[in-house]
Amino acid sequence: MKSLPSPKNNPGQRPAVFLDRDGTINEEMGYINHVSRFRLLPDAVPAIRRLNEAGLPVVVVTNQSGAARGYFSPALVEEVHRHLQDLLAREGARLDAIYTCLHAPDAGCSCRKPKPGLLLQAAADLGLDLSCSYLVVDRYMDIQTAANAGVHGILVLTGYGLGEYKLFHDSHPAQPVHVAANLMEAAEFIINKERDLA
């Protein structure tokens, strides 16, 4: 495994943990067109809380093209994200920010993953150092996002992860720096790496 650059190389900028949403934090259900379809995976709250306690900014980056497709309103996405923050807050965890692409795939926007726009915007807004940050995801499409944004990709085996790993682990041009069973194992991997660098 390659060694990871230290945040000390970029004074004043912080590493962050970016998280995909569907299949990584919550159960992969297809389009989440009602808040009742949003179900947190069992380790999501403790994993995010551990990252909070480690002092790492935690930022969700998610494609929700169902808004542009007319499957749900942009307001529904906001409602789901308020619900997510409420569920976390009840157990002492929080997301520092959520960045969403609401556009259709053919809209030509610069934010729909695997384009890096959501991560670049978050880095500019929050003063984050992408070169020592992580993106945790359940699909190789998003391992490509990590490569495009210059962050370290971690694949979890929840959501689409297990099937994607079997299909792509020796063929996809972009590969994760680590494969974790779930978000908690990914969080522990990241925290251990940060501790090694400290």
Catalytic residues: 20, 22
Burial grade of 36 (CB within 10 A; 0-12, 13-18, 19 or more): exposed
Radius of gyration of the chain (CA): 16
The yes or no reply on residue 17 touching Zn ion (CB under 5 A) is no
CB distance 57 to 50 below 8 Å: no
Angle of helix 44-53 relative to helix 183-197, nearest 10 degrees? 10
Identify the residue among 20, 43, 164, 185 touching Mg ion (CB under 5 A). Answer: 20
Instruction: State the greatest distance between any 2 C-alpha atoms of the chain, in Å, as a whole number.
Output: 47
The yes or no reply on residue 164 touching Mg ion (CB under 5 A) is no
The yes or no reply on residue 112 touching Zn ion (CB under 5 A) is yes
Residues 99-128 that bind Mg ion (CB under 5 A): none
The minimum distance between CB 152 and Zn ion, in angstroms, equals 23
The yes or no reply on residue 109 touching Zn ion (CB under 5 A) is yes
Residue 74 preceded by cis peptide, ω within 30:
no
Identify the residue among 59, 80, 84, 111 touching Zn ion (CB under 5 A). Answer: 111
Identify the residue among 4, 22, 143, 145 touching Mg ion (CB under 5 A). Answer: 22
Site residues (vs Mg ion, CB under 5 A): 20, 22-23, 138
Residues of this chain that interact with Zn ion (CB under 5 A) are 101, 103, 109, 111-112
